[in-house]
Structure formats: structure tokens, C-alpha cells
Structure 1
Amino acid sequence: MASPFAAPLTAALTPQGPTGHAIADLSSRVGTGERHRILHVFRAPVGGLFRHVIDLTRLQAEAGHAVGLVCDASTGGERAERTLADLTPYLALGVTRVPMRRNPHASDLHVLRTVRSQALAVGADVLHGHGAKGGVFARLAPLGRAGRGVIRAYTPHGGSYNYRPGTTLHRVYMAAEQVMARATDLFLFESEYVASRHAAFAGGSPRLERIVHNGIAEAEFAAVETADDPFDLVYVGELREAKGLPVLLRALARLRGQGRELRLLMVGSGPDTESIAAMAENLGLRHAIAFEPPQAIRPVLGRGRVMVVPSLAESLPYVVLEAAAAGQPLVATNVGGIPEIFGAFSSDLVPPGDCEALSAAILHILDEEPSRRQGRARALSNSLRTRFSMNRMATDVLCGYAAAFSAKRTRTASVPATA
């Protein structure tokens, strides 16, 4: 029998399409009536970034725009293949998959040529890059004279902005962001946190920017039913140390050492799967943790009493939005854009990397009177409805495009004609 710690290295993603009432024409809301040919460029078809692109693709297509994707061919596995196949009716401009490396590599030149070729072939007038690598390809793909009417938009999803300030990698990536800002018509930051990091460390001359929070569908606000004999704690996401998993394991070991026989369900995969599993073994947690591969989040939420998000760095994680919307009691760290999600409830967040504080927060919420715990979770859910609407997210993105096109036309008109 395979070890329960040997989860397959596939990607977690929980895409949600628009649900409920039919979507109004989003383009008419921004007052332009223009229809665009939009190419979304990103690296890995996994996780929250992929979900964000999927949601935008569906909403933009339903609003009458032609949409296509360019993404990595080597990640995502069968799960990504199925999701992209399901998305086909919304992809008038198709899907182009090409191998992309996570870190800078000579093969990036081939990807730039591929993005250029596809953009010209489909007549794209919006190149929208997502994440650090997607942002490079969408902003730097050379289009020549054909690209004079094209806008380049960029949505960071944490990534390079989450490196610790002062480190060599942080300085290198922020210097690169300064350079690429000159080729950026529109920044669409998913959180105030990332916008502030960009202003502080990439800076440069002012650019057109919008803060567009990730959005979730109305159906995701329905409460999930708790399973019989649930786990005490549940974690959903990548298995990597940057997600604070060593801190969570130490907190669990600490609580069990105090006589609390707590059980943890961990759902996901990632580059640190083996080291996380080994640490669990060394801490004597083998029988206290169940490891499972990536899967849809809502059924998982019902299998745990409390969800724990121990991240050391984040932007605006969908997993927190999804759990909070569903009324799942949460213990989360005070990092990145998570306080923007919690809003008035942000005092409940714990410092990142603090095993003692995480243990105390877990114990507090588990021992809290159930009606009080559920009441606070439902109050947080209610606070998200208007602030993190999926339709609002799509409308704000289209408003950003419209502003970028207007600014580009103004700049073009102000340039004197050459003889």
C-alpha cells in the first residue's frame, strides 16, 4: 500500500463559473460598447491564478469579447486539461500551450515569439499578463507596428513581490519590474497590499492602475454541511514551506503534546511534499494527519471543523475567500491581502511564523461555544458579498481596459505627425 504521505504532485484548482442570474452586458456598463480581442498570458494552469483567469475568461466571453489563453504546457496535468476542455466554448481565440520555466531561462525567448505570433494571428488588442512570468511575456512580446493599438495589462499575484525586502532576489525582481513598468499600460493589482509593495519597491513614474479584488460567485456563499466525524483542522493549498506548513505541523505537535488528540486533513500537492511528510513523521504526527491530492474545495471544507491558513506570504488568496464565503471557521495569518478579506475581523489574524500564537488561536476557536464560532464565521461571510463579487471583478477589469485605451489614444493624438 502506498504511504499516505506520498500525494501525487498534481495542481490544486477550484474554478467556478458565474452562477445565479444571467450576466448583464459588462461592456455596456463601462459606457464604451467596444468589443475586444483579449489574450490572457500566464504560466502554470494551477491554483488561484488559474481560477482568476478562468472566471475572467467566462465573464468576458459572455460580455461579447473574444478571449484566448497562452499558458505552460508542462504543468497542471489531467486536471488542467479537463478544465481547459470545459472552457472551450468561451475561447473564441483558442488555447496555446508552450513550455514555460518558472525561473528566467533561455527558452523564454521562444515563449516571447510564441506570444507574439499568437497575438498577431488572432488580432489581439489586449495582452493581459498574470503572475510574474505571464507579466513578462504579455508586456515584452514584440509586436512592432502592429502593436501600436494594443494595450498591455498586468495582474501580479504575489510572486516576486513576496520576496523579503533587501534580499538579492527581491532587488533583482523589483529592478526588473521598474523596467517593465515602462511597457505597461495598466496595472490591475488584486490587493492593496501588492499595490503598496509595487509603489514602495518598484516605483517609477506614475502608471495607470486599479485595485481589482478577486471575486467569487453567489453560489459560493451557500454554507457547507459538516461531515460526520470531521477532522479538527483542514488545510487546502500548495504543499510548500512558504505556506507556513512547518509552523502548522509544530503547532499541531504542540497541541497534541498538551493532551489534545487533534487530527489534520491536508489537501494539495507541491514542491515540498516530501519534506513536509518527513517533518510530520519526525514530529510523531503520522497517524494524526491525512494527506490527500488536490480536489474541489467545498466538499473538503465540510470535512473539517476549522480551516487553517498559516501562510508566511500571500497576495489575496482564493482559498481564504472561498472558505470565508462558505461560513467556514478560519484561523489565518496576518499577511499580504488577508487583512483586506477579514476587514473588521482582522484582529482575529495571527502573526506569521509564530507557532505559539497559531496554537493558541486554534485552541481558542476549537473550544469556543459552537453558536458563537459559527455566528462570527457567518458575519465574515456576509461582509464579503459586495466587496468580493465576481461580476464586480469583471466590470472593474473592463473599466481598466477602457481607461487604458483612452489614455493610449490621448498619447497617440499628442504625438506630432512626422513629415
Structure 2
Amino acid sequence: MTPAERPLRIIHCFRSPVGGIFRHVRDLVEEHRAAGHEVGILCDSSTGGAHEERLFEAIRPLLSLGLIRIPIRRSVAPSDISALYKSYMHIKSLQPDVLHGHGAKGGVLARLIGSALRVNRYRVARLYSPHGGSLHYDRSKLSGRLVLGLERFQERFTDSLVFVCEFERRAYEAKVGPISTRAQVIYNGVRDSEFGPVTPAEDYADFLYIGMLRDLKGPDKFIDAFGRTERAIGRPLSAVMVGDGPDRDRYFRMMAERGLGRRIRMLEAMPARQAFALARNVVVPSRAEAMPYIVIEALAAQKPVIATRVGGIPEILGSESAALATPGDAADLAHVMVDVMTNPTWRDDVMPAPDAFKAVFSASTMAGQMLALYRELGGRTGNL
């Protein structure tokens, strides 16, 4: 078997097994295990609940290199030394070809452990995907300068940075500085089973908001824009808001005060494709994003998507797409929502072509590009 054909031994390191990072890693695990590679996970043991435990149980049979869960704090703490040592000893015994760190803490673990292995004359590829992480820090503050300075320092121990979109790469360069190591953009993707239309419910609504119920994600702007859209069209409309979060009660009061309580339903969080069946159009009114899976999932389900021009969303819909509204501007968002309701050809005119979209944003494409990078970097692994 040639080095290019040999199965790779890949370990993903990250802190919290919730949200987009966990989804990203699970998709890579499934795709790479199906391709015959050995995969393992190192993550925090103190976060996640029953839902995350079910997700771990689903992928546990795929983790031939095991599931390592140890306490990993969000902020820097003395306990990090113990976590780092335990992680190093366990990973050393697994002899990985690739250590891929996700998020700030995952990036520290992967790069420090990988570098320690190299000191012991074992070469391993060290990759880091920020996924936002430390890029949320403000360089004008002391804490931000320290964290971003640490990012710059760690580049010398990084074989490749991997960004989920060009926006993330630009944010990294703006905050950390010009990249001094290899870097590659590999877009997030969803599974092949997630491509295809969703059968609509009998009483499906005009608009769907799905996500965290907090101002960063823009539920308040969705409610405001919905009311403006009704007034512009001159007839009652319907909407569904799916999700949980700290501001749920405030949004409920906001709807009641504006007389929208009967026309906007609020439901608890549920799987995305289940929620897509509840409405004709999906609205993503975020004030800030990186590369949100919900936009990719909705387009894979062939739902018309209205979104704000933030983060990597323009890279999905097109930088000049008529589906994009100004973040934080309910009037501009309502303008797009009116177009959707009044223009019968809007979807065909504005949304990406399904085949072209799938070619870029499928999990198989994402995993294939990642594996090619692993091969290039991991092909040089082994004893020094």
C-alpha cells in the first residue's frame, strides 16, 4: 500500500460539544470513517446535555481511535496544564497522523500536543480551524490583545489554518495579522440525505425564523419586519418562530404588544428539516454570523432564504443577491420579504441553482477537500 493509499489516523480536538463546531466535526467523522480512515475525538466533559449524549452515542461506533472527554474550561485556567498533560499522554499512545483543532481551546490542544510529539521525534500534521473563537475578541482591549497575540505566536506551530469561509479568513487577518503559514478555505457542507425538498405541513406559514432566541440572531428584527410586510401587502400573513433562548419571553411580549400574537407561533427547538416543513420561506435576520449552517441546510431543502449581509452568508447566496438585507435594518428586511410574497418568480430568479449549490456545499465535498489537505500534510508523518 502506497503512502497515498494508507488510512490516516485523525483526531479532532475541540472544547464544547454543542453547536456548529460539533456538527462540523461529526460530519467529518462520518465521511472520513466511511472512506476507511481511523478517527477519534478529544473534547470537554463538562458541557453538553442529553441531546449531545445522544449525538455521541450515534457516532461512537465510528470512533475507532476513541472518544476522550476531559474537563476543559472556556477561559484560560491552571487546570489547563492537567488537561494538556492527560491529553498528550493519551494521544501519544494513539500515534495520530493528523491533529485538527477546532475553536480557540481546540487549536491550543492540537498544536501544543502535536509540537510535543515532534519534540519526541514523531511528526504529526497540526491543523487549526478558528470557527470564530478568539476572533470575537476586541484588539482594543487588553484581553483581546493577549488572546490575539497568542494566536499569532501559535502560527509557528501550525502546519495549516483552515477557514470555513473567506469572511473568516479576512477577520483573522484583520485581527491577528498577515498569515505566515499555509491557509485554506474549505466551506461547510451538509450530508447528501439533507438535499431535497421537504414535504410541507398542511397549515404551513409564510415565514420561518429558526435559531437562538437572542438579539444577536435578530428575532426582534424578524418580528418588526413581519409587521411591516403585512402593512405593505395589506393583508394578514403568518409566521413561525422555532428555538429557545434567554430572550424568548421578551419576544413574546413584543408580539403581543404589536397585535401579532395570533399570526406568529412560537415553538420549541426542533430538527431543522422538521421546522422547514412549517413555512414557505426561511428568514435569517442575524446581526452577526460566521458561516451559519442554517442557511446551507435551508437551501439544501430547497427553501427560499432571506438573510442579512453578514459573515459568510454572501458567499453562499452571492455577494449581490437580492435575498440579502442590511443587518439590523427591519425596513430593508421587510422590503425583501415583500418581494418574496409578491413576485412569483423570485425563488427561481434569486436562489442558487440546486445542482451548483450542492457541488460546493455538500459534506462529501467538504470532507474530500479536507482529506486532500490531510493527505498532503499527513503524508510526511512518521518517525523523524
TM-score normalised by the shorter chain: which range applies? 0.7 to 0.9
Helix, strand or coil at the partner of 1:332: strand
Question: CA 1:374–1:286 in 2, change beyond 3 Å: closer, same or farther?
Answer: same
1:314 paired with 2:289, answer yes
Structure 1 residue aligned with 2:217, among 225, 243, 260?
243
Distance 2:47 2:331 in 1: 36
Tell me which moved more, 95-104 or 138-147.
138-147
1:190 aligned partner: 164
User: What is the CA distance between 1:207 and its match in structure 2?
Assistant: 0.6
Distance 2:185 2:365 in 1: 12
1:338 paired with 2:313, answer yes
Distance 1:217 1:113 in 2: 35
Structure 2 residue aligned with 1:229, among 198, 203, 218?
203
Question: CA 1:244–1:64 in 2, change beyond 3 Å: closer, same or farther?
Answer: same
Question: CA 1:288–1:136 in 2, change beyond 3 Å: closer, same or farther?
Answer: farther
1:118 aligned partner: 90
Distance 2:141 2:315 in 1: 26
Once the two structures are superposed, residues 257-290 of structure 1 have per-residue CA deviations (whole angstroms, 9 ceiling, x without a partner) of 6665333322223454455455555555444433
1:8 aligned partner: none
Letter of the 1:210 partner, please give it. Q
1:381 aligned partner: 354
Distance 2:360 2:159 in 1: 25
Helix, strand or coil at the partner of 1:229: coil
1:393 aligned partner: 366
Structure 2 residue aligned with 1:262, among 221, 234, 237?
237
Distance 2:64 2:102 in 1: 19
Does the CA contact (< 8 Å) of 1:306 and 1:366 recur in 2? no
Question: CA 1:85–1:91 in 2, change beyond 3 Å: closer, same or farther?
Answer: same
Unaligned runs of 5+ in 2: none
Structure 2 residue aligned with 1:67, among 35, 39, 42?
39
Helix, strand or coil at the partner of 2:280: strand
User: What is the CA distance between 1:109 and its match in structure 2?
Assistant: 3.3
Does the CA contact (< 8 Å) of 2:296 and 2:316 recur in 1? yes
Identity %: 36
Structure 1 residue aligned with 2:338, among 328, 348, 363?
363
Once the two structures are superposed, residues 277-304 of structure 1 have per-residue CA deviations (whole angstroms, 9 ceiling, x without a partner) of 5555555544443333332211211211
Does the CA contact (< 8 Å) of 1:115 and 1:138 recur in 2? no
Distance 2:210 2:15 in 1: 21
Q: CA RMSD in A?
A: 2.9
Once the two structures are superposed, residues 118-140 of structure 1 have per-residue CA deviations (whole angstroms, 9 ceiling, x without a partner) of 31232223211112232222223
1:303 aligned partner: 278
2:302 aligned partner: 327
Question: CA 1:331–1:171 in 2, change beyond 3 Å: closer, same or farther?
Answer: farther
Helix, strand or coil at the partner of 2:207: strand
Question: CA 1:354–1:187 in 2, change beyond 3 Å: closer, same or farther?
Answer: same
Distance 1:214 1:66 in 2: 21
Letter of the 1:100 partner, please give it. I
1:96 aligned partner: 68
Helix, strand or coil at the partner of 1:97: strand
Aligned length: 381
2:375 aligned partner: 402
Task: List, as ranges, runs of 4+ consecutive aligned residues in structure 1 with deviation greater than 6 Å.
Answer: none
User: What is the CA distance between 1:403 and its match in structure 2?
Assistant: 2.7
Letter of the 1:52 partner, please give it. H
